[in-house]
Each structure stands twice: as C-alpha cells, then as structure tokens.
Structure 1
Amino acid sequence: MSELLYKHFETTRSYFLKNVEALEESIVDVQPEGFNNTLHWQVGHVLTVTEQFMFGFPKKSAHLPENYLELFGNGTKPADWQEDVPSVQVLVEQLKDQLKRFKEIPAESFQTKLKAPILGQETFGELANFSIFHEAMHLGQIQSMKRLIQGMQAK
C-alpha cells in the first residue's frame, strides 16, 4: 500500500511540476473572470495544503513560512494579498523539497489512525491519498486556467 502512495504522489507531483514549470511568467498572476484566484495562487495552495496534510504545518513543520496559510490557505485569494508573495520559482523549489520529504515518511506511518477524521479520512495513509487527489484536482484547474488565459490574450 505505501509503495503505491509513494508512486502516486511522485507521479502526480511530477506532472504538477512539469505543468507549472511550463507556465509563462506573464500569465501566472492573471485572474480570469469567474475565478477567485490565479495560477500563482494555485501553486502556493497545493504546496501549503499538502504541507498541512502531510507534515502538520504550521505547528509541526517549519519548512514553509507561517504566512503561507494567509496567502494560500483555504478561503484565501490573491486579491487579499498585502505582503510580499514568494515567486512561482520559489514555490517550485519548495514543491520539489516537499516531494523529497514525502518519500522519507516511514511506510508504517500510513497505517496510523488519525486522532479525528479529516475530510472523512481516518488514517494517515487515507489523508496522503486525499492529498494526491487534491493536487491532481488543482493540476486540472491550472491546465484549464492556462488555456483560458492564453485564449483571452490571443484575442
């Protein structure tokens, strides 16, 4: 089971990084009509939420600045940003580091029962699987938003 989680996380993260690294800098902060966020936010959100799910950010993980919750946490949006925001390139490096740290999680940890269910997930492994699902869902958003923005700019 744990080998499958490592493989799925690595596959999803690899596709995510490939898509993000291919984004033109000129479009990452464009907010299309009907969207509450930007490509830049999507990248930071995946990083931040994965850190919360897998590493207990911010209480148990010091790998990301605490203000990432205010920038990229659930319910946040770029329109509310009032401080320096890390570039997409910085976020990409942090995503790569996070992948390395994920692969270092001991396999037996995935069997650990959570103190209380999180989003219906009862074990750490189920939460890891949900994290992969969450990332893949946002990858789809990034792909759609990229096409939409490029189509708007082509007009």
Structure 2
Amino acid sequence: MSELLFKNMELTRGFFLKSIAGLNEEIVDVQPEGFNNTIKWHIGHVLTSAEQFMFGYPKKTTSIPANYMELFATGTKPSDWQGEVPSVSELTAQLKDQLMRMKEIPAERFSEKLPTPFLGQETFGEISNFSLFHESIHLGQIQAMKRVIEAAKTK
C-alpha cells in the first residue's frame, strides 16, 4: 500500500506544483465573486492541512510556521489576515520540502491505527490518502479561480 501511496503523493503534489508554478502574482490575492477565498489561501491551506494530516502540525512538527493556522486553517479567510503572509514562492518551496518529508515516512507507519478516526479514516494510510483527495479538491478550486479571474480581466 505504501508504494502506491508514495506514487500518488508524487503525482498529486506534482500536478499541484505544476499548476501553481506559473501563476501571475497579480491574481493570487484576488477573491473572485462566488468564491470564499483566494488562490494564495488555497495553496497555504493545502500545505497546512497536509502538515496536520501527515505530521501532526502544529504540535508535532515545526517545519512550517505556527501562524499558518491563523492564516490557512479551515474557516480562515484572507480578509482577516494580520501581519506577515508568505508569498506563493515561499509556500511553493515549503510544499516541495513537505513532499520530500512525506516520502521519508516509514512504510509501516501507514498501517498504524489513528488514536481517533477522522472522517471515517481509521489508519494513518487512510488519512494520508484522504490528504491527497483533499489536495485534489483544492487544485480544482485554484484552476477554476484562475479561469474566472483571467476571464474577468479580459472584459
């Protein structure tokens, strides 16, 4: 199972990184009508959520700043942001680093039971798979937002 999961991690994160690689900085902070957040929020949310699922952030890992919870956790929004907000290039570098750390997780860990099931997921492998599913949802949001923003700019 872990080999398939690692392959899926690389595939999913690869598509995610490719999708955000050429983003114009002018559009990442635009919140188009009908959307709850911005492209930058989605990028940070994917990073923060994966860190929670895979590494127990914020209590068990210091690989990303603690203030990312206030910026990118579920229920947050850019209009409430205070202080320093990372750039897309910073978030991208952290996403790449995170993938490298995910690939170093020992294979036997994926069969470990979670202390408390989360959304029906009972093992670390299941929650890891859910994390990839979650990332794909946000990739779709980013792609849709980019198209809406770019279409509005041409009118």
Q: TM-score, normalised by structure 1?
A: 0.99
Distance 1:35 1:54 in 2: 27
Distance 2:68 2:12 in 1: 22
Structure 2 regions of 5+ residues with no counterpart? Answer: none
Work out the number of aligned pairs and report it: 155
Structure 1 segments of 4+ aligned residues over 4 angstroms from their partners = none
Query: Are residues 1:19 and 2:19 paired?
Result: yes
Report Cα offsets for 1:43-100 as digits up to 9, x if no partner. Answer: 0000000000000000000001110000000100001001110000000000000000
Structure 1 regions of 5+ residues with no counterpart? Answer: none
Map 1:66-105 onto structure 2 (within 5 A): 66-105=66-105
Report percent identity of matched pairs.
Answer: 65
Distance 2:78 2:120 in 1: 29
Deviation at 1:21, TM superposition (A): 0.8
Q: TM-score, normalised by structure 2?
A: 0.99
Aligned CA RMSD, in angstroms, stands at 0.5
Map 1:1-155 onto structure 2 (within 5 A): 1-155=1-155
Report Cα offsets for 1:110-129 as digits up to 9, x if no partner. Answer: 00000110121000000000
Deviation at 1:36, TM superposition (A): 1.4
